[in-house]
Structure 1
Amino acid sequence: MDEDGVRYSESNEVEMEQEEVPARTQKQEKPLFTYSTRKEGYALGWSRLKQGDFASGDQCRDIRIYRMHEGGTWAVDQRALCGHAGSVEDVHWSPSEPLLASCSCDGTIKLWDSRSKPADACVCTVTKAHDSDVNVISWNSHDPLLVTGGDDGELKIWSLKTIQFGQPVARFKYHRGPITSVEWLPQESTTFMASGEDDQVTIWDIATEADSHESIEGVPAQLMFLHLGQKEVKEVHWHPQIYGLAITTSFDGFNLFKTINM
């Protein structure tokens, strides 16, 4: 822990023994399902309510929902969810409702009811959610909260109870570059992790009060942990079962780490 009260870690390369892989396991299998769009896309998300269903978003500004049928086949509704004015950057499903959240480089957040016809599916739009592109979004597993990250380097927390008014319930500015990934800790409701193009991975606890300890200039009280040592960090994820175990992927590999007191 540094004198500023934030715990730090740096990546250490770990040499792993390589095992010989039988030739039969090296054979590349054909994908179970393939669907082509007109342009590339970055947004993918599995439904947490209905096994096998997932959504995608692309540079054509379209969101498509894929539903798995008996026998392991998928059906795609050709009527896309339309409404974003720019590339769809990320999608994430609600853990408890048939709702899909999406964010876009048009600066907006949208909520979609997957039970409705595509033309009527959008139930909420937050305009100017960030000052620039909204890159990533994550849905809290316990409380009706969303976290988003944008090109402006900001992290914002949105409550489903008030999101229609367009105001976040919290906002954090610490990263010095665009946010590349966010994810809530699955085992509790107040902790999330984020990464940015500034090569920093941060862990936050929104339950921490701003005046709970001595204020440190430039360091939000909610910032609990800082992981350094990687270049171009693209994604961060928590292990779904092992409490506090995180993985990050970057240009120079991936890191696994577990914070000390979580």
Structure 2
Amino acid sequence: MSFPAPRPEAPRLPQHLHRSLECQQGAVRAVHFNADGNYLLTCGSDKSLKLWSVSRGALLKTYTGHGYEVLDADGSYDNSQLCSCSSDKTVILWDVATGQVTRKLRGHAGKVNCVRFNEEATVMLSGSIDGTVRCWDTRSRRMEPIQVLDEARDGVSSLKVSEHELLTGSVDGRLRRYDLRMGQLHVDFVSSEYTGHQNKDYKLDCCLSNKDTHVLCCSEDGHVYYWDLVEGSVTLKLPVGKAVVQSLSFHPTEPCLLTAMEGRVQVWGAEPADAESDTAMTD
């Protein structure tokens, strides 16, 4: 006798506010988990980059060295280095422990929107409003990029590095996939598959959930929108506040979400915060 297979468990979606951090660095332009999800980075309009403990909501270190607002940042796999980019056209490599600038790299002709390490943190990749992606060797003292990718016809707004592939998003409406091993470029036009959110005036983040079941995106109406990846239907409209949700980041393994609105960052979980978390919020 056969039994029907059990129905798959519904994905657990972060929708309960666990804590809110007053970052005190002007408007938070970007928020990111680090590689293991234990720390978060906030990029401020006051030219600073801050490192926080997710579990305690405590500020661990502040990094200053940019000449204008910080737009993006990333952490190395071993948590020893950070990279950041800014409207001042520079990319900075930081030593996490000392807070010192290891390298300050110039070469972009306009503000730098996004920056990422490769998986070994041997290369930093930066995308700019000037339409280029520049690749920088983190182990060399060379001040010039080791490669410049200039295929975009407008500003590069986002980057993703995965093993031997590089994905770039551009304001020209194209998604470009560079196969670094084969030396090939694939170009796709991005249409509006997931709709309902508002995005007219700001550069807003989107991402996938940790199990790749949902697409999430910021919105100028104060919500984060969750869409079913396959069906494209809105699963959840998460009310964050009454201003623009400018950045978000999903935990690499857990149902936990970061959102940034104005000068604050919110930490969301799939379950209501317990008494211990409530206490931590008031510390």
User: Within 5 A, what are the aligned runs for 1:36-75?
Assistant: 36-49=23-36, 51-68=37-54, 72-75=55-58
Alignment partner, residue 131 of structure 1: 109
Q: What displacement does 1:99 show?
A: 0.5
Structure 2 residue 60 is the aligned partner of structure 1 residue 82? no
Alignment partner, residue 172 of structure 2: 198
Preserved CA contact (<8 Å) 1:183 1:236: no
User: Within 5 A, what are the aligned runs for 1:111-150?
Assistant: 111-116=93-98, 118=99, 121-126=100-105, 128-142=106-120, 144-150=122-128
Secondary structure (helix, strand or coil) at the match of 2:22 reads coil
Q: Provide structure 1 residue ranges, at least 5 long, that are not aligned to the other structure.
A: 1-24, 210-221, 258-262
Q: Provide structure 2 residue ranges, at least 5 long, that are not aligned to the other structure.
A: 1-11, 194-198, 220-224, 231-283
Q: What displacement does 1:56 show?
A: 0.9
Q: What displacement does 1:34 show?
A: 1.8
Q: What displacement does 1:202 show?
A: 1.2
Post-superposition Cα deviations, 1:19-72, rounded to whole Å, max 9, x if no partner, equal: xxxxxx99x6433232242521212222225x421111111001111124xxx3
Give the TM-score normalised by structure 1: 0.66
2:151 corresponds to which of 174, 188, 194: 174
Higher relative contact order (CA 8 A, sep 6+): 2
Preserved CA contact (<8 Å) 1:90 1:103: yes
Post-superposition Cα deviations, 1:142-170, rounded to whole Å, max 9, x if no partner, equal: 461221100101012222223x3221121
Preserved CA contact (<8 Å) 2:76 2:121: no
Query: Which amino acid in the other structure matches residue 80 of structure 1?
Result: T
Q: What displacement does 1:255 show?
A: 9.6
Post-superposition Cα deviations, 1:192-221, rounded to whole Å, max 9, x if no partner, equal: 111111111111112334xxxxxxxxxxxx
Aligned residues: 206
Query: Which amino acid in the other structure matches residue 176 of structure 1?
Result: R
- Give the RMSD, CA atoms, in angstroms: 3.5
Alignment partner, residue 91 of structure 1: 73
Distance 1:29 1:230, change over 3 A: closer
Query: Which amino acid in the other structure matches residue 56 of structure 2?
Result: T
Distance 1:103 1:168, change over 3 A: same
Distance 1:81 1:250, change over 3 A: closer
Q: What displacement does 1:225 show?
A: 3.5
Alignment partner, residue 272 of structure 2: none
1:159 corresponds to which of 122, 137, 152: 137
Give the TM-score normalised by structure 2: 0.62
Preserved CA contact (<8 Å) 2:117 2:161: yes
Moved more, 200-209 or 82-91: 200-209
